[in-house]
Amino acid sequence: MSHLALLLPFALLAASASAQTEGPKPAASKVKPRPADGDAPLAEGFPGSTEPGKIEVKEYPAYRSAVARADGATVSSGDLMFFALFNHIQSNKVEMTAPVINTFRTPRMIETPGARGEVAMEFVYRSPRQGKSGPDGSKVEVVDHPAQSFVCLGFQGGNLSADQMRDAVAALRKWLDAHKGEWVEDGPPRRLGYHGPMTPAAQRLWEVQIPVKKAKQPAGSSS
């Protein structure tokens, strides 16, 4: 498959995500999902996708990605940054990987219906040794990210609506409250999309994640 042919499904996915309206949560799928690396390979060292409906903590290695940001975006503004990233990886001969990552950086953005704020979209480099970090023009920056733990909730099916994102973040924070002796929230939520629209909607995999860190142990306690 050519580089361009691999990219175009993700372009269509970004556009369709922005047009998705809020709606009810779909019924649980009985269709076997496409593998997380079925449309593009996972970045080096990235864990596999979280099983739909399951909550788990996963460790992500340090990685490098091309990042574009948009202010005044909504949770469903999936296409605003795509083509800046598309042009970056085309001009730098960077192969597409999965997943595509959107981080919702404005506090309480997901919890407030219709809210707007800063959203970042990432195309993850295959390896943290590939290319070089720094700005690429005015719209894209190549960023080195440290290793990080995330609590993750898996989804299967069509594009996640704003309602589903809100419910997912609430479920993850409820889980964190129940495990506050182990983990605490450590940054803004993000959404991972593993497949483009060439994969049937019922087979697509998604995740909603919140970065976490180990909770501080009380003085005198053992780890």
Angstrom distance (rounded) from CA 205 to CA 31 = 12
Whether 223 is in a domain gets the answer: no
- Closest residue by Cα to residue 117 from 189, 197, 214: 189
The per-residue pLDDT for range 86-140, each reduced to its tens digit, is 999 999 999 999 999 999 999 999 999 989 999 999 999 999 999 999 999 999 9
Whether 23 is in a domain gets the answer: no
Whether 119 is in a domain gets the answer: yes
Whether 121 is in a domain gets the answer: yes
User: What pLDDT does 29 receive?
Assistant: 59
CATH number at residue 56: 3.20.80.10
The domain containing residue 104 runs over which residues?
3-17+29-214
Whether 162 is in a domain gets the answer: yes
Whether 221 is in a domain gets the answer: no
Spatial neighbors of 193 by CB under 8 A, at least 6 apart, are: 13, 17, 98, 99, 100, 102, 204, 206
Whether 219 is in a domain gets the answer: no
Confidence of residue 179 (pLDDT cuts 50, 70, 90): very high
- Closest residue by Cα to residue 195 from 205, 186, 187: 205
Confidence of residue 212 (pLDDT cuts 50, 70, 90): very high
Please tell me the pTM assigned to this model: 0.86
Whether 222 is in a domain gets the answer: no
User: What pLDDT does 12 receive?
Assistant: 43
What is the count of structural domains for the chain? Answer: 1
Length of the chain: 223
